[in-house]
Amino acid sequence: MVICNVVGARPNFMKIAPIVHEMQKRKIPKFIVHTGQHYDRQMSRVFFEELDMPIPDIFLGVGSGSHAEQTGRIMMAFDKVCMEREIDLVIVSGDVNSTVACALVAAKLGIPIAHVEAGLRSFDRSMPEEINRIVTDHLSDLFFTTEESANNNLKKEGISEELIHFVGNCMIDSLLKHIGIALEKSPWLTFGLEPGSYALLTLHRPANVDEGEALKSIVKIINEVSRSIPILFPLHPRTRERLAKGGIPLAHAVNTCEPLPYLTFLGLMAKARFVLTDSGGIQEETTALNVPCLTLRSNTERPVTITSGTNRLVGTDHEQISMSVNDILKRNWRSGKRPPLWDGKAAARIVDVIEGLHPVKREGASREK
């Protein structure tokens, strides 16, 4: 049984790395395809080194572009991989363009697909990620879920319960494995900060950064928050471009930097007083770390981070953000608990399921050229 593990954007690395390690341990034949959807030579190398992942066997190098351009280029390149190699299972993770593109190719060629982090739903189809989640799930054959809401969503959409496997969260596998070394590095010292004395901000969702007035409104709120606590802001390239294009100034207490390596960011997040973000994965990581999280969105596909964890949806509402920041600074914030099966063993459960398979090729397009 030969397994193809697909990565494309940085969040994929943390989800796939524990699975690759578990397969190595059990000597399961596998290879890694890196689509190059997010690719910076230095950052990509650092991520693979820090997660102790093997160098990808195949690099597609698709680069950036519109959703259609990027998805199309990934499909054309991945189709060649599937034609040239015998593959028994394609594993995709998350909700990025690489996820749906490779799932489409595999489905049309009759190659079974496993979706890691299946079933998450924001119920907001204005988010490109939501479209990717829905399409990938309805192409897949195996569904590995991180929380109970995902199980329920899949069942409501007609997915057979026997194909759904509640395994936990591979991103938390990576976090628990690396948190010790991340803290040993004391990355806050690089920025002249002390543990618990700063907030961490990430911002990259198109709804928040691509429309000038929306970005101005968020920055205005962030600048006001920085009067109470310094903010460290690793800038996503697109966010940096939009800020410069719009001439939108950041307050002196909002310290910007380039995107950070995994261990550096993890250490900073673990010791932040709170995190402001529009990222899905960071909602999960802050919950696992018991760090307050203010999500700059009106919805989340990860409701367990609210019901069990430390997350609160504040959107871009000035009053909500201000009130929540005050609550945190006054230590009026509930302590969360780690959700079920977020115990560092999700990858082992996934590979247990895969090892139990007796794969039968689905009918699909011929792989003959």
Judged against a pLDDT cut of 60, whether residue 364 lies above it is answered with: no
The mean pLDDT of 167-172, rounded to a whole number, is 98
Q: How many CB atoms lie within 10 A of CB 227?
A: 9
For residue 322, CA distances in Å to 207, 226, 334 come to 21, 11, 17
Judged against a pLDDT cut of 60, whether residue 298 lies above it is answered with: yes
pLDDT at 367: 47
The mean pLDDT of 79-91, rounded to a whole number, is 97
CA–CA gap between residue 95 and residue 322 (Å, rounded)? 31
pLDDT at 363: 46
Catalytic positions: 204
Handedness of CA 46, 50, 54, 59 (dihedral sign): negative
Reduced to 3 states, what is the DSSP secondary structure of residue 326? helix
Q: Where are the beta strands (DSSP E) in 217-332?
A: 231-234, 254-257, 274-277, 293-295, 311-313
**Residue 39: pLDDT band by 50, 70, 90 thresholds?**
low
CA–CA gap between residue 97 and residue 68 (Å, rounded)? 9
CA–CA gap between residue 147 and residue 169 (Å, rounded)? 8
Q: How many CB atoms lie within 10 A of CB 360?
A: 8
The mean pLDDT of 187-214, rounded to a whole number, is 94
Q: Worst-scoring range by mean pLDDT, 20-34, 40-54, 96-110, 150-164?
A: 40-54
Asked if residue 236 lies in contact with residue 204, where contact means CB atoms within 8 angstroms, the answer is yes
Beta bridge mates, 143: 115, 164
Residues above pLDDT 90, as percent of the chain: 85
CA–CA gap between residue 297 and residue 110 (Å, rounded)? 37
Q: Worst-scoring range by mean pLDDT, 28-42, 277-291, 309-323?
A: 28-42
For residue 204, CA distances in Å to 208, 233, 276 come to 7, 11, 12
The mean pLDDT of 345-354, rounded to a whole number, is 98
The mean pLDDT of 74-103, rounded to a whole number, is 97
pLDDT at 40: 63
**Residue 238: pLDDT band by 50, 70, 90 thresholds?**
confident
pLDDT tens, position by position, 174-194 = 999 999 999 999 999 999 999
**CB environment 21-51: b (16+ within 10 A), e (fewer):** bbbeeeebebbbbbbbbbbeeebbebbbebb
Q: Catalogue all structural domains in the chain, each as residue range(s) with its CATH number.
A: 3-168+345-355 (3.40.50.2000), 175-329 (3.40.50.2000)
